[in-house]
Structure 1
Amino acid sequence: MIDSKKIGNYRYRILALLMFATTINYFDRSIIGVMAPTLEKMFGWTNKDYANIMIAFKVAYALGMLFMGGLIDRLGTKNGYTVSIAIWSVFGMLHALVRPGFSVIGFAAARFGLGFGEAGNFPAAIKTTAEWFPKKDRAFATGLFNAATSIGAIAAPFVVGWIVHEDGENWQIPFLITGVLSTLWVFLWFRMYKKPEIHPHVSIEELAYIQSDSAGAESEEKLPWKSVLDKRQTWAFALAKVTDAVWWFYLFWGAKFLADTFGVNIHNIALPFFVIYIMADGGSILGGYLSGYFMRKGWTVNKARKITLLICALIILPVCFVAITDSKWLAIFLIGFAAAGHQAWSANIFTLVSDVFPKKATASVVGIGGMVGAVAGIVADYALGSVLDSAGNSGYFWAFMIAGSCYLIILGFVHLLMPHMTPLDENLKPILK
């Protein structure tokens, strides 16, 4: 058994910073979804108006994923992550300046900037995980920081419910909170982060453990962003990221669904969201642990990751029935199980990138996949907003049917594109054993 005291555990301090950043990211991202029913009444938005505001976020997120992924690989994790959080924090606070006369365009502009900045979080965090954890621990580490998405989503309704009145008074304040948190994070990040090879607080034993299943030291030569575009592995990951549209459906439309279907308002949304996202947290951590457990039992990386993804897809399937139940709490628990399955899925698909690609290409590949996921979210928002305005709540039936069934289909295509998960060396050539 590994003696963790002898090895050292500075890598978990870095992981704690990833969790903190991701919590801030999702708190910022979730606020508007929690306040959506209230803001709609205040500003007279239609479902299409709200969908267009969400689309602005996702267009920027798609563009930002391409730009930020390459930027982080060029600038390095430390500086690239800082640029990302600075951009999203400024635009997050700018939401508070929007006035009723131009509410749709004002929120769309603020969401655009927020989405562009927030696009850097996951490429930077996955790159950091690849730098600081061996392959056998990466899914678990990813599951832990990915669980912070739910911490942010849980915090949002409690903070909003505490500060914002039902008539919308004080709605600006939650958008300002993350500026303080982001400043604290940047201070800690610059104080604590260096690559493990040159970090004074990383022991020789811990560094050996971090690099225990790496192919060896990589050169400092930068890979051009376009070099990963012709790799089937890139598009296998990108296809798996189409499921981001489902997660954003829960995040941005969940409060509206519960309000439209069961009359849940800004002051009683906190408990349903707590249940959904605490279940999602559990799924993220357990999903990350499960594939690592299979690997420690002697399974190949390929088998461990894909069997775990299959289990996730099966757990998600029952969410297809949410829109036909008359029970609010049954609907909440079905969404909660699906959110748990999605987060377990997400922890493992993110790890696919660092399983296959060299560290210096990781952020670029994650960025391409994130861009594809954002485009899928744009299509979903446009379709759902149009259907809800024309056909009423029956539009939710089709949304949940697609949300429940798409994972199994996508997993089949991922396996066809990447049947063996053969790792690539630093020149993107297959490493043949």
Structure 2
Amino acid sequence: MTKSTTQVSKYRYRILAMLVYATTINYFDRSIIGVMAPTLEKMFHWSNTDYANIMIAFKVAYAIGMLTMGGIIDRLGTKKGYTLAIGIWSLFGMLHAAVRPAFSVIGFAAARFGLGFGESGHFPAAQKTVAEWFPKKERAFATGLFNAATSIGAIMAPFIVGWIVDEYTGQNWQIPFLFTGVLSFIWIILWHRMYKKPEDHPNVTKEELAYINADTTAESDEKIAWRKVLPKRQTWAFATAKITDAVWWFYLFWGAKFLADTFDVNIKNIGIPFLIMYLLADGGSIFGGWLSGAFMNKGWTTNKARKMTLLLCALIILPVSYVAITDSKWLAVVLIGIGAAGHQAWSANIFTLVSDVFPKKAVASVTGIGGMIGAVAGIVGDKLLGTVLDTAGNTGYFWAFMIAGFAYLFILGLVHLLMPNMTPLDENLNEVKE
């Protein structure tokens, strides 16, 4: 093997590109209904509570799926498990287009339920892929890159919806739901052609494989059930950190409604505000993933590097609370964008906590448990917000933004109490002694 071949052997980044692609599809599917919410509400005569219940159907399935899909992916392996997840969510995403006005709430709730169950497999599968293909020092950065694609999907949604769907009549509202089916089909073909584990892949050199495994130990093929990781404090440290998913979903599913209700932003001019918010979120995801790796390259411990980065994220997010009282649309948009950037940086690092501590074969299961807790937090948030908006008007947004700003500092304190030292666990889930 020549020296030049060794230098250019970075096949892991092609796998990472597939994660970026899948995440983009995932969040385009997920974001469409939030962008169209003001129009769909008028078309189908939904109350805020009706809309909240539709969002809750998604999160109930997401919570159930997180407990089951993570374990399924650990058992089937990344290649088959990921394909199953994207197949399910794509089918139910397209089924939104079959909903008719006579049963709009039930129909959308059923379609969102199936979408949520399928999408619950994405992050466990993606994080397991990162654990298999990247050394620990690169995992937060890799996670930050694919996590940034959540914003790509969220940015695509308002522009495509605004281009296709009529603001007043809702004409062509079904088309965006069908659009991702084609993208998903292409992804599945590429994934089956490209994906194998690094040790089995013909395009991975010995040098790249050694680099990937440089800071990990060999594991047996024995599977670890989620019930075995459930009692671990480290599992609940991650799950506690995932409570902040409720904030992210508030931005994603209620952001367009907030701008419509407060600043009269409609389906035709929502694109630029979303572009600003989610470009900032993209920058936060990539920077946050890079920052903890940079701290580790300076010689910091993994524990110190991850938690210091999380603390900086929590501080950056604080100003989003001011959205609750500002009467400036563009200031609100920028502050939400900064909050989203902080969240995405936070998210890139908390996902990496799992692969920092747990063996690779448990990563999807632990990620699933944490995702379930995040979904439950989102369910509670949706129910409360929908009820308050119907009974007390826009006061609900005031409390939502106040909680969004201050939650991260409080939750970081709980994470540190549960896991003061990020001591790795071996394949039997025992702490590795230094």
Separation (CA, whole Å) in 2 of partners of 1:272 and 1:265? 11
Amino acid at match of 1:285: I
Q: What's the CA shift string for 1:82-132, capped at 9, x where partnerless? A: 000000000000000000000000000000000000000000000000000
- 1:228 equivalent in alignment to 2:229: yes
Separation (CA, whole Å) in 2 of partners of 1:380 and 1:232? 25
For 2:208, the equivalent position in structure 1 comes to: 206
**What are the equivalent positions in structure 2 for 1:270-349 lying under 5 Å apart?**
270-349=271-350
For 1:67, the equivalent position in structure 2 comes to: 68
Amino acid at match of 1:315: I
Q: Which runs of 4+ in 1 moved over 6 A?
A: none
Separation (CA, whole Å) in 2 of partners of 1:234 and 1:8? 34
For 2:106, the equivalent position in structure 1 comes to: 105
Amino acid at match of 2:401: F
For 1:178, the equivalent position in structure 2 comes to: 180
Separation (CA, whole Å) in 2 of partners of 1:82 and 1:229? 26
Separation (CA, whole Å) in 2 of partners of 1:432 and 1:403? 38
Cα contact 2:155–2:271 (8 A) shared by 1: yes
Separation (CA, whole Å) in 2 of partners of 1:73 and 1:54? 28
For 2:41, the equivalent position in structure 1 comes to: 40
Aligned residues between the structures: 431
Separation (CA, whole Å) in 1 of partners of 2:225 and 2:190? 31
C-alpha RMSD of the superposition: 1.0
Separation (CA, whole Å) in 2 of partners of 1:57 and 1:127? 23
Cα distance, 1:66–1:5 mapped onto 2, change above 3 Å: same
SS in 2 for 1:266: coil
For 1:402, the equivalent position in structure 2 comes to: 403
For 1:127, the equivalent position in structure 2 comes to: 128
| 1:275 shift after superposition | 0.3
**What are the equivalent positions in structure 2 for 1:70-109 lying under 5 Å apart?**
70-109=71-110
Identity value in percent: 77
For 2:266, the equivalent position in structure 1 comes to: 265
Amino acid at match of 1:187: I
| 1:3 shift after superposition | 8.9
Cα contact 2:6–2:205 (8 A) shared by 1: no
SS in 2 for 1:176: helix
| 1:185 shift after superposition | 0.2
Consecutive unaligned residues in structure 2, runs of 5 or more: none
| 1:323 shift after superposition | 1.7
| 1:225 shift after superposition | 1.9
Cα contact 1:7–1:209 (8 A) shared by 2: no
| 1:394 shift after superposition | 1.2
Q: What's the CA shift string for 1:156-197, capped at 9, x where partnerless? A: 000000000112000000000011000000000000000001
Cα contact 2:127–2:363 (8 A) shared by 1: yes
For 2:143, the equivalent position in structure 1 comes to: 142
SS in 2 for 1:150: helix
Consecutive unaligned residues in structure 1, runs of 5 or more: none
Cα contact 1:85–1:121 (8 A) shared by 2: yes
SS in 2 for 1:380: helix
For 1:163, the equivalent position in structure 2 comes to: 164
